[in-house]
Amino acid sequence: MAESIGIIGGGIVGIAMARALSTRGLADVTVLEKEQRVAMHQTGHNSGVVHAGLYYAPASLKARLCQRGRVLTRDYCRERNLPYRELGKLVVALTHDELPALANIESRSVANGVPGLRRLDAGAMRDVEPHVAGVAALHSPHTAVVDFVAITEAMAEDIRSAGGQILFGHEAVAITTERGTVRVTTSHAEFVFDRLIVCAGLQSDVVAGLVGASAAPKILPFRGEYWGLAAAKQHFVKGMIYPVPDPRFPFLGVHFTRGVYDTIHVGPNAVPALAREGYSWGNVSLKDTAASILWPGAGALARKHWRMGAKEIAASLVKPLYFRQARRFIPELQMDDLTAKTAAGVRAQAWSLDGSLLDDFAIEKMGPVTLLRNAPSPAATSAMAIAEHLLEHHVLPHN
């Protein structure tokens, strides 16, 4: 008799995990999702980019699983006839001062096996993106865009076809382990599983607390806001135009992305969200905000990054400041070319007791419970590879 495995979280990572288990016949799988459909939060509020692995520390989980995940995502989209467009990405050095950081990204990219990567001078980069400014760039031709919600929904169909179930409106409120099993109490029912895998994204530390795990790492929600690009100026961007990121921060900075359905968005920025699922300044949770402020590492984080934080908040509230960040890359851009804010996402950034931000994926085991404690970008790209990794290192060794 197959063992029963519960999965908390109906984002792309939880659904990929459930699909890996159910389609291989390894377990009777039940996904518990507090919302009324899959992909409601991070999965459904990102730019849709399938990353090629340019930025990540070589040999890190991010680097390894991003490369594997890109291939698995591409192949799955082809198999299921879902859109997958390799529009390519330019990482642009605006000044000569940014060339050493660009060289560091190039070195990491080579170590990570990024396919087709090229270093371009100013003339060659404008052959790729005619309207871009800058002195040099890295071109990643196999960076792609997809519809991550459509991918998640297709994988949900695979789960159901294999006999698994996905239950909506079931928010986990209590978790206990007893006699080798895991009892999960939700807002509507109780379930007993042989094992539990938690892929709860923005709520990962909350659910970990239900299991009795350490409070650290804690989730600090950061909102990323996008502006749309006016229809008359869509020709300004052929694929993706990214800055050279500041290595002190886990965010890439404002950039341009042509989406899988040809809508171009500008962003995201990175501002502290006032709620775990706070998609605008009007979404405020006093509980979530107080928990962030009172966290032991909050003071250290604020002292280290307050200038960047103030700059990001100001650009969020004052459009001309946001526009200035974007115009550095496309000098022809006019402020009216940025239409209304089109969307926003909230990133579940994990941070430690000392205020440091966790960069790599983080997994914790507590008996029959496996907790995915940190899964920031490129988690959507890596989702199927994360599922493989969990199977190989945390599920199959148990059998």
CATH number of 385's domain? 3.50.50.60
pLDDT band at 114 (very low <50, low <70, confident <90, very high): very high
**Does some domain include residue 97?**
yes
Whether residues 9 and 135 fall in one domain: no
Tokens of 231: 């229809």
* DSSP helix/strand/coil, 283: coil
The pLDDT, as a whole number, for residue 381 is 98
Q: Quick check: 203 and 213 in contact, CB under 8 A? A: no
Q: How many domains does the chain have?
A: 2
Q: Does 148 score more than 70 pLDDT? A: yes
* pLDDT at position 398: 62
Q: How many other C-beta atoms can be found within 10 angstroms of the C-beta atom of residue 6? A: 26
Q: What is the Cα–Cα distance from 376 to 70, expressed in whole angstroms?
A: 15
Structure-token pair, residue 251: 């965010």
What does each C-alpha distance from 337 to 202, 262, 316, 331, 384 come to in angstroms? Answer: 33, 16, 17, 12, 37
User: How many helices, marked H, and strands, marked E, lie in the chain?
Assistant: 10, 21
Q: Which domain holds residue 160?
A: 4-46+149-217+359-398
* Same-domain pairing of 139 and 285: yes
List all residues 6 or more positions away from 324 whose beta carbon is below 8 Å from its beta carbon: none
Instruction: Write down the residue that tokens 């200035």 correspond to.
Output: 324
Lowest mean pLDDT among 1-5, 217-221, 314-318, 333-337: 1-5
* 39 inside domain: yes
**Whether pLDDT at 304 is above 90:** no
The CA distance from 126 to 223, in Å, is 32
Q: Which helix (H) or strand (E) holds 151?
A: helix 148-161
Q: What is the pTM (predicted TM-score) of this model?
A: 0.95
Query: Percent of the chain scored above 90 by pLDDT?
Result: 80
- Whether 13 maps to a domain, the answer reads yes
Give the DSSP letter string of 301-332: HHHHHHHHHHHHHHHHH-HHHHHHHHHTT-TT
Q: What is the mean pLDDT of residues 191-200?
A: 97
Residue 135 lies in a domain: yes
Question: Is the distance from CB of 338 to CB of 232 less than 8 angstroms?
Answer: no
Same domain, 125 and 159: no
